[in-house]
């Protein structure tokens, strides 16, 4: 299988894991604070990878233990801590739908940030990003955007703005989205010089350490509460962190950052579909259209990439 297609499949699997783990993040905070939750789940994610680290060393693989590697791993972990902290704290003050849409904005933030860094993207990437953003809006926020009898063209926009009630949680999640975009770009920069398994493990441990520091200051470690949140924490640690973020690191070896963002935006699709299948939540026509637009965006970049490889 072509390496690029393999990377795309890994990214889709990561999006699936993150989408289904979104409920675990919400449920976990019913018992413990956001920093406590992140401390334990990222520590679990790092510990899960340790056997793979030792196995890689036993096979005699080149081990990037230079100062530049540790510095890069620390930077990646710090950025990961920023993104997950703002998102996790923001989830306490906003709805899942709004958080999903705002987080998905990193799809277009990545090419915007990269443009300021001197990179240029094809028109197909920008077009796909627009399709994904519109799809995300319909998927996550569509129920709040509708036409009523007697409305003019701007009435739904005004009503949406009045009922959305942008709050501090939305602001925190948006800052998190910006940091998620930076994280994807950081991983893209580091993955060419580091063994993926070491980079993933290093960033998890750094993120866990930083989360622990904040948890000590702002929260309390109560064993009974942690035990009550054991299942959401384990799900978040083993799957969302141990599997999901590791898949991202491995996949970014052969996929450009903007392409990565478009595919990973399917996290929102999987979250909604999982809610529909497991929790019997109503998707609605707008949500289905939104999923279709996002799929169209992903297909667009796939076709353009395929044409480039054939040409």
Q: What is the pLDDT of residues 2-44, one digit of tens each?
A: 676 788 788 888 888 887 777 777 778 889 999 999 999 999 9
With beta carbons less than 8 A apart as the criterion, state whether 131 and 300 touch: yes
Q: What angle do CA 223, 226, 229 make, to 5 degrees?
A: 155
With beta carbons less than 8 A apart as the criterion, state whether 229 and 30 touch: yes
With beta carbons less than 8 A apart as the criterion, state whether 21 and 100 touch: no
Categorize the per-residue pLDDT at 309 as very low, low, confident or very high, splitting at 50, 70 and 90: very low
Residue 307 pLDDT exceeds 60 = no
Q: Residue 160: how many CB atoms within 10 A of its CB?
A: 14
* DSSP structure string for 279-293: S----HHHHHHHHHH
For 91-126, the pLDDT digits (tens) are: 788 766 667 767 777 777 787 787 777 777 777 777
pTM: 0.76
pLDDT of 118: 73
For 45-71, the pLDDT digits (tens) are: 999 888 877 776 656 555 545 666 778
Q: List the chain domain ranges.
A: 3-310
pLDDT of 211: 96
């Amino acid at each position: 299988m072509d390496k690029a297609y393999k990377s795309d499949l890994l990214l889709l699997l990561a999006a699936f894991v993150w989408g289904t783990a979104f409920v675990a993040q919400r449920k976990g905070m019913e018992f413990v604070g956001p920093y406590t939750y992140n401390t334990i789940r990222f520590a679990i994610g790092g510990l899960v990878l340790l056997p793979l680290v030792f196995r890689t060393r036993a096979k005699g693989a080149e081990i990037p233990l230079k100062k530049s590697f540790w510095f890069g791993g620390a930077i990646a972990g710090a950025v990961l801590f920023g993104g997950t902290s703002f998102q996790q704290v923001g989830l306490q003050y906003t709805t899942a739908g709004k958080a999903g849409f705002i987080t998905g904005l990193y799809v277009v933030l990545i090419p915007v940030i990269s443009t300021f860094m001197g990179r240029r993207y094809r028109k197909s990437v920008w077009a796909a990003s627009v399709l994904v953003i519109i799809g995300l809006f319909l998927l996550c926020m569509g129920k709040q955007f509708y036409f009523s009898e007697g409305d003019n063209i701007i009435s739904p926009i005004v009503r949406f703005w009045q009922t959305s009630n942008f709050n501090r949680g939305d602001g925190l999640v948006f800052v998190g989205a910006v940091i998620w975009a930076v994280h994807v770009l950081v991983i893209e920069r580091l993955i060419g010089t580091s063994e993926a398994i070491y980079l993933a493990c290093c960033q998890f441990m750094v993120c866990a350490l930083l989360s622990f520091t904040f948890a000590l200051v702002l929260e309390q470690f109560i064993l009974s509460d942690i035990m009550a949140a054991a299942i959401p924490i384990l799900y978040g640690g083993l799957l969302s962190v141990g599997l999901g973020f590791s898949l991202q690191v491995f996949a970014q070896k052969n996929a450009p950052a903007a392409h990565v963002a478009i595919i990973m935006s399917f996290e929102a699709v999987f979250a909604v579909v999982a809610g529909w299948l497991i929790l019997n939540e109503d998707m609605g026509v707008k949500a289905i259209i939104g999923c279709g637009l996002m799929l169209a965006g992903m297909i667009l970049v796939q076709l353009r990439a395929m044409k480039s490889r054939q040409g």
